[in-house]
Amino acid sequence: MENNPDYSAPPLPASPAGEPAAAVAQRAASRSRRAFIVGGLAALAGVGGWRWLLTRPDADGTPWPFRRVLDANGRLSQAYFRETRLAPTFPKSKATTRQNGNVGLGSFDPAAWRLQVQGYAPPGAPARTQEFTLADIQALPRVDMTTELKCIEGWSIVVNWVGARFSDFLAKYPLATANGHSARYVSLVTPDEEYYVGLDLSNAIHPQTLLCYEMNGRPLDGPHGAPLRLVTPLKYGIKHLKRIGTIAFVDERPADYWAELGYDWDSGH
């Protein structure tokens, strides 16, 4: 502080009982020291707790306390899921385009692309594999919808999608059932096997889950998953696998690219 002849420090207050000012100051300093010690101990506890969490054994690639929270979120999302619950739709004029993520989109020959589908096989039964062309998918009832694509990063855009309902595909090709039993899950993998997602069968046959081949009025291009991608509006974008190469119907929860990196396997919103 600059020297100021008109400045004088205010006197230390006396306690209501007339306690000397020096004693009041000493008590205040003692309280400050205690507060500093308590704050320091709390910070150390926080650091120690964080280190404890990070050193817990992994469960599917994530320390198990975090995995339990993620699994709880997944159970809540699944409990909230209903076939009759639909994502909001929008006018086509609201649709826009944004490219995000290129894992699984390595070079490939569009002319040679085929969709490989491994049918459900109960224990002891042989698996069936069937091959489909894009024309096979396009021959199914055409669905045109405009919904919001929500990214786990926090942004969202409105997109117009055209494709066939997954449920219509299974109605014509009942590959999710065998011997009176149905698969519990669906696995989808890119042709190069670099990206993969898993869905509950109930989510796959939701009326807004599409095998999509057009976006915003044009056939899919490479960065957006040509020739065929998954669209499932009640899930975050990390589930919307681009460039489907293989579909398999299974009883065990399949591997999921982002779940292995610590995200919620269900990824519903």
What pLDDT digit, counting tens, does each position of 198-246 carry? 999 999 999 999 999 999 999 999 999 999 999 999 999 999 999 999 9
pTM of full prediction above 0.75? no
The domain that contains 194 carries what CATH number?
Answer: 3.90.420.10
| Structural domain contains residue 193 | yes
| Structural domain contains residue 15 | no
Q: Is the pLDDT of residue 248 over 50?
A: yes
| Structural domain contains residue 71 | no
Average confidence (pLDDT) over 64-93: 69
The whole-chain average pLDDT of the chain stands at: 82
The torsion region of residue 10 among left (phi > 0), alpha (psi -120 to 50) and beta comes to beta
The torsion region of residue 123 among left (phi > 0), alpha (psi -120 to 50) and beta comes to beta
| Structural domain contains residue 23 | no
Which among 208, 207, 205, 197 has a CA at the least distance from the CA of 253?
197
Find all residues with CB under 8 Å of 88, minimum gap 6, and list them: 147, 148
Q: Is the pLDDT of residue 50 over 60?
A: no
What pLDDT digit, counting tens, does each position of 7-17 carry? 444 554 445 55
Tokens of 6: 């008109």
Q: Is the pLDDT of residue 144 over 60?
A: yes
| Structural domain contains residue 113 | yes
- Bridge partners of 255, per DSSP, are none
Average confidence (pLDDT) over 158-185: 96
- Bridge partners of 189, per DSSP, are 196, 246
What residue numbers bound the domain in which 162 lies?
84-261
Alpha-carbon dihedral of residues 11, 15, 16, 19, nearest 10 degrees? -110
| Structural domain contains residue 78 | no
Q: How confident is the model at residue 2 (pLDDT cuts 50, 70, 90)?
A: very low
Number of domains in the chain: 1
| Structural domain contains residue 205 | yes
Find all residues with CB under 8 Å of 193, minimum gap 6, and list them: 245
Any idea what DSSP says for residue 92? G
| Structural domain contains residue 27 | no
